[in-house]
Amino acid sequence: MAALTTWESTLKERALAPTQASGRLYTAWLAGLGLVVAWGFVAYIYQWRNGLYATDMRDRISWGLYISAFVFFIGISHAGTLISAILRASNAGWRSPITRIAESITVVSLISGALFVIVDMGRPDRLYQFWLNGNWQSPLMWDMMAITIYLTASVVYLYVPMIPDLAMFRDNLEGRVSRFQMWLYQSLAIGWDNNETQRRSLAKSITVLMVLIIPIAVSVHTVVSWIFAMTLRVSWNSTIFGFFFVSGAIYSGVATLIIVLAVMRRIYHLEEYITPTHFKYLSYLLATMSLVMIYGNASEYITKGFKMTEEDRFAFEQLFAGDFASMYWFYFFGGLVLPALIVAFKPTRTIVGVVIASVFVDIAMFIERYFIVVAGLRVPTMPYEPSSYSPTWVEWSILASGFAGFMLLLTLFARFFPILAVWEMTEERTSDQTSQHDRELEPAP
């Protein structure tokens, strides 16, 4: 039992440490991200004044980088909630050190994603029209509803399992953080003092949320894909789109989770808790999803390509041999095949290897979102010359600021909230020690 106590107190210290993070590099990181975000605001003000004229979107390619970023961010939001809910539901014991980080990625990326829709609107000043005159027939309305529900659900799902850890913060940080922060922990911990009744109702709530959140998450990315699949555009006219988008979302979500875990592990010295085993398991999930994606590609393109209608021919030529060919083949080989190979071979299945694979996956998935949107719109619907699209500095700036905002929010989350599910890890450890099995998660040599 003594061993457990030391273990527990080290864990607590590790979990508390990020609230004290400081140093020149840390400040520089925050300031750098802040600057990029601010630059994005400048670009947005420019766009507000000039209209979407400031972008390179035009009538014939009427969506571009913003909508791609929207789909991408909503996609990586599946990192958290869905993955952690699935792991929780399947009672995978190794999940406890990574769930919190996963869930925070969800909330943060949902916020970033939703903002891109507003950035893309011609009249953001009329957002209230969604409420006043909403049309339930419209896929965009479904999207609005699904994302609002998902954001609420994932905030709640992030918060509820965090209550015991917030109480831990409340009890251990007195005097080490500002009064405001103490007040925050005190109110958010809603009087948790770890008694039996509290533990029972917490467990009950988590179960309810977990069951709710899986269908919500799946529905969100399905309706995101339906923005495209509900139109008569030839490249989007596909029954596989919902499935394809959800798999792509999980795929890029796992990749993002791996990257964020690796970074946080290094910076906050969590090597003891986030172990190579975690990366191994997550990389298996990554490889599985890459195979699913390859299968999805085959299913989608071979069935269409075999019949090759006139419009399909145009779409195929531009995707596989024309303007978008380099993007597609990078996506296919660099983003689907390569990561699967990296994971398949033992010598490359290291943390560094898996992180590299994940970076490839994320880049490739962004590119995939981009060519789905842009190449899909580029197929002429009438006899006119195909249009072109190359994003302007405004679009790039806002995109960069979206990514910077994502990282900034994550950093701030780690600064103010417990990034390790300390109580779950302790519980896990206690039950392990009692039953004397499952040594899997011992730090690897």
Partner 1 sequence: MIQPKTVAFLGAAGLTLALLAASRSGPVPTLLLGVLVVLGAVPVYLRRSFSAAPVEGGGPGDDNTALRETPVELSSGGSSRREALKRLSMGGAALAIPAAVGAPTVIDMWKAKASDGPATGPSGRTRQWGMIIDLRRCDGCQSQGTAPQCTLACIEGHFAPEPMEWIEAYEAEMAGGGTQFIPTPCQQCQNPPCVSVCPVTATFSTPEGTVLIDQDRCIGCRMCMAACPYDRRFFNWGDPPIPPEAMLADYSVEHQAPAKKGTVMKCDFCPEMARAGTLPYCVQACPNDAIYYGDLEEDIATNGREVVAFSTYIADNNSYRLKEELGTQPRVHYIPGHGELVGRDRFTEGRIATRWPWVERVKGAVTWRR
- Tell me if 205 contacts partner 1 by CB under 8 A: yes
Taking the complex as a whole, how short is the minimal distance between the CB of residue 216 and partner 1, in angstroms? Answer: 8
Taking the complex as a whole, how short is the minimal distance between the CB of residue 438 and partner 1, in angstroms? Answer: 28
Among 8, 29, 171, 363, binds partner 1 (CB under 8 A): 171
* Contact stretch for partner 1 (CB under 8 A) within 12-20, 201-209, 262-270, 341-349: 201-209
Among 29, 46, 62, 350, binds partner 1 (CB under 8 A): 62
User: Residue 6 is encoded by which pair of tokens?
Assistant: 């030391």
Which are the contacts of 324, defined by CB distance < 8 A and separation ≥ 6? 318, 371, 374, 375
* Contact stretch for partner 1 (CB under 8 A) within 90-98, 198-206, 392-400, 424-432: 198-206
Taking the complex as a whole, how short is the minimal distance between the CB of residue 226 and partner 1, in angstroms? Answer: 10
Which are the contacts of 208, defined by CB distance < 8 A and separation ≥ 6? none
- Tell me if 181 contacts partner 1 by CB under 8 A: no
Quick one: which of 101, 106, 125, 113 has its CA closest to 49? 125
Taking the complex as a whole, how short is the minimal distance between the CB of residue 141 and partner 1, in angstroms? Answer: 5
Among 23, 175, 215, 383, binds partner 1 (CB under 8 A): 383
User: Residue 327 is encoded by which pair of tokens?
Assistant: 């993007």
Inter-axis angle of helices 351-378 and 196-229, to 10 degrees? Answer: 40
Residue 17, by phi and psi: left (phi above 0), alpha (psi -120 to 50) or beta? alpha
Residue 382 has φ and ψ, to the nearest 5°, of: -135, 170
Taking the complex as a whole, how short is the minimal distance between the CB of residue 11 and partner 1, in angstroms? Answer: 15
- Tell me if 299 contacts partner 1 by CB under 8 A: no
- Tell me if 120 contacts partner 1 by CB under 8 A: yes
Taking the complex as a whole, how short is the minimal distance between the CB of residue 123 and partner 1, in angstroms? Answer: 4
- Tell me if 144 contacts partner 1 by CB under 8 A: yes
- Tell me if 417 contacts partner 1 by CB under 8 A: no
Among 82, 153, 372, 425, binds partner 1 (CB under 8 A): 153
Among 13, 25, 26, 126, binds partner 1 (CB under 8 A): 126
- Tell me if 134 contacts partner 1 by CB under 8 A: yes
Among 9, 27, 381, 431, binds partner 1 (CB under 8 A): 381
Inter-axis angle of helices 241-267 and 96-120, to 10 degrees? Answer: 120
- Tell me if 218 contacts partner 1 by CB under 8 A: no
Among 21, 141, 263, 363, binds partner 1 (CB under 8 A): 141
Number of residues forming the site for partner 1 (CB under 8 A):
76
CB atoms within 10 A of CB 145: 16
Taking the complex as a whole, how short is the minimal distance between the CB of residue 45 and partner 1, in angstroms? Answer: 15
Residue pair 209/39 in contact by the 8 Å Cβ criterion: no
Among 156, 291, 298, 308, binds partner 1 (CB under 8 A): 156
- Tell me if 131 contacts partner 1 by CB under 8 A: yes
Which are the contacts of 297, defined by CB distance < 8 A and separation ≥ 6? 332, 336
Q: Which is nearer to partner 1, 53 or 295 (CB)?
A: 53
Taking the complex as a whole, how short is the minimal distance between the CB of residue 372 and partner 1, in angstroms? Answer: 12
Among 30, 60, 363, 432, binds partner 1 (CB under 8 A): 60
Taking the complex as a whole, how short is the minimal distance between the CB of residue 290 and partner 1, in angstroms? Answer: 29
- Tell me if 123 contacts partner 1 by CB under 8 A: yes
Taking the complex as a whole, how short is the minimal distance between the CB of residue 350 and partner 1, in angstroms? Answer: 39
Quick one: which of 365, 425, 438, 416 has its CA closest to 19? 416
Q: Which of residues 321-380 bind partner 1 (CB under 8 A)?
A: 377, 380
* Contact stretch for partner 1 (CB under 8 A) within 28-36, 102-110, 167-175, 391-399: 167-175
